């Protein structure tokens, strides 16, 4: 994979780096250098193999495992990108109007949307559109009241059995952590909801199921729900099917990882600080050891060193 020149350069770079930070004597250094080089070579080799396996999207049984989704450039899946919060806001609208008919969002409360995609006043209005059971009151009876920001997002079904009964035996999964819970993450979710097509010749799909090449096995109970114009955006964004799918995928990505923006920013700070401190500590170590390593012990024998003393 590497040319000979690259390998040579890499070898000398590793060698000089380990010499630069090492204060051991030469004989010992060459043994530990060898060990160091072997470890680096192993790490690089296995890293390249894993990277190749990860990048290579063709695999043996794409029918059973589902087609690998292509990579899409969501801003929040890049190394230093935050969520596109306007997209989260549109995606929430899509979720509420389309997905929430069958899918729950157990881990998201109304208040989580405050200062993420909605203002506090907007969230209060959104939550108040739904009725929640509360109580007991002073007669010991449960009563219904309008929702508050502290309430969870409403569930479409009271329990899994009800959900299965309403969907011909299929259970619509909870979407709170779906981009973390599926191989391929956001790319998979986007590909799945835009990937419906006619089954290829020879593939039979049972009554009530739909063909989707990205779904493991190919037969998915969920029908295609995302079409051009299925929602109407308040900010005037053209509601094409791909735009809607992108927005709802961004929203579900946020639901899975609400901490992502802060986490990435903190990561940048940590890498900056710790790399500086590492360089500093390596330099200080050399600095402090230099006087020890360079000292010379001189023995000046007395002039009568070889003369036997008389008793």
Partner 1 sequence: MALSAVTKSVSKFTYNTFFKRESVYFSTVVVGAVAFSIYFNSAVDNWWDNRNKGKQWKDIKDKYVKPAEE
Cα distance between residue 171 and residue 173, in whole Å = 6
Q: Got the DSSP string for 220-275? A: ESSPP---TTSS--TT-----HHHHHHHHHHHHHHHH-TTHHHHHHHHHHHHHHHH
Q: Kindly write out the interface string for residues 236-275 of this chain, putting x where it contacts partner 1 by CB under 8 A and - elsewhere.
A: -------------------------x---x--xx--xx--
Cβ distance to partner 1 smaller for residue 89 or 103? 89
Helix 241-256 × helix 185-194 angle, to 10°:
150
Q: Say if residue 99 carries a ligand binding annotation.
A: yes
Cβ distance to partner 1 smaller for residue 70 or 267? 267
Q: Which residue has the tokens 């051009």?
A: 228
Identify whether the C-beta of residue 84 lies closer than 8 Å to the C-beta of residue 253: no
Work out whether 107 is an interface residue with partner 1 (CB under 8 A): no
CA 254 → CA 28, 83, 84, 249, distances in Å?
A: 52, 7, 10, 9
Binder of partner 1 out of 65, 106, 115, 232 (CB under 8 A)? 115
The CB density around residue 42, as the number of other CB atoms within 10 Å, is 10
Q: Say if residue 222 carries a ligand binding annotation.
A: yes
Binder of partner 1 out of 74, 83, 92, 215 (CB under 8 A)? 83
The CB density around residue 282, as the number of other CB atoms within 10 Å, is 14
Beta bridge partner(s), residue 144:
133
Cβ distance to partner 1 smaller for residue 118 or 215? 118
Work out whether 74 is an interface residue with partner 1 (CB under 8 A): no
Cβ distance to partner 1 smaller for residue 106 or 122? 122
Beta bridge partner(s), residue 114:
118
Q: Say if residue 197 carries a ligand binding annotation.
A: no
Binder of partner 1 out of 94, 102, 105, 117 (CB under 8 A)? 117
Work out whether 121 is an interface residue with partner 1 (CB under 8 A): yes
Q: Which residue has the tokens 């794409």?
A: 62
Binder of partner 1 out of 32, 46, 57, 82 (CB under 8 A)? 82
Q: Which residue has the tokens 């780096």?
A: 17
Cβ distance to partner 1 smaller for residue 114 or 205? 114
Binding residues: 99, 102-103, 222
Binding residues for heme c: 99, 102-103, 222
Binding site for partner 1 (CB under 8 A): 75, 80-86, 89, 115-119, 121-122, 235, 261, 265, 268-269, 272-273
């Amino acid at each position: 994979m590497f040319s000979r020149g690259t390998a040579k350069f890499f070898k000398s770079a590793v060698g000089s780096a380990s010499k630069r930070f090492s204060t051991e004597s030469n004989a010992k250094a060459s043994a530990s250098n060898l060990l160091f080089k072997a470890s680096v070579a192993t790490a690089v080799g296995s890293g390249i193999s894993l990277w190749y396996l990860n990048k290579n999207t063709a695999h043996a049984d794409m029918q059973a495992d589902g087609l690998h989704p292509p990579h899409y450039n969501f801003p929040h899946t890049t190394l230093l990108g935050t969520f596109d919060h306007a997209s989260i806001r549109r995606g929430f609208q899509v979720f509420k109007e389309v997905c929430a008919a069958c899918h729950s969002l157990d881990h998201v409360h109304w208040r989580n949307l405050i200062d993420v995609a909605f203002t506090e006043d907007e969230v209060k209005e959104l939550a108040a559109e739904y009725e929640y059971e509360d109580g007991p009151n002073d007669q010991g009876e449960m009563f219904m009241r309008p929702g508050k920001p502290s309430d969870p997002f409403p569930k479409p079904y009271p329990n899994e059995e009800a959900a299965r009964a309403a969907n011909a035996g299929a259970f619509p999964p909870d979407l709170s952590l779906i981009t973390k819970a599926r191989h391929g993450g956001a790319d998979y979710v986007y590909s799945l909801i835009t990937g419906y097509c006619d089954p290829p010749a020879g593939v039979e799909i049972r009554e009530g199921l739909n063909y989707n090449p990205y779904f493991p096995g190919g037969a998915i109970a969920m029908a295609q729900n995302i079409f051009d114009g299925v929602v109407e955006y308040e900010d005037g964004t053209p509601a094409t099917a791909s735009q809607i799918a992108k927005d709802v995928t961004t929203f579900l990505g946020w639901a899975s990882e609400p901490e992502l923006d802060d986490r990435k920013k903190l990561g940048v700070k940590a890498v900056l600080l710790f790399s500086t401190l590492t360089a500093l500590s390596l330099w200080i170590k050399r600095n402090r050891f230099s006087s020890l390593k360079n000292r010379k012990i001189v023995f000046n024998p007395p002039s009568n060193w070889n003369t036997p003393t008389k008793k």
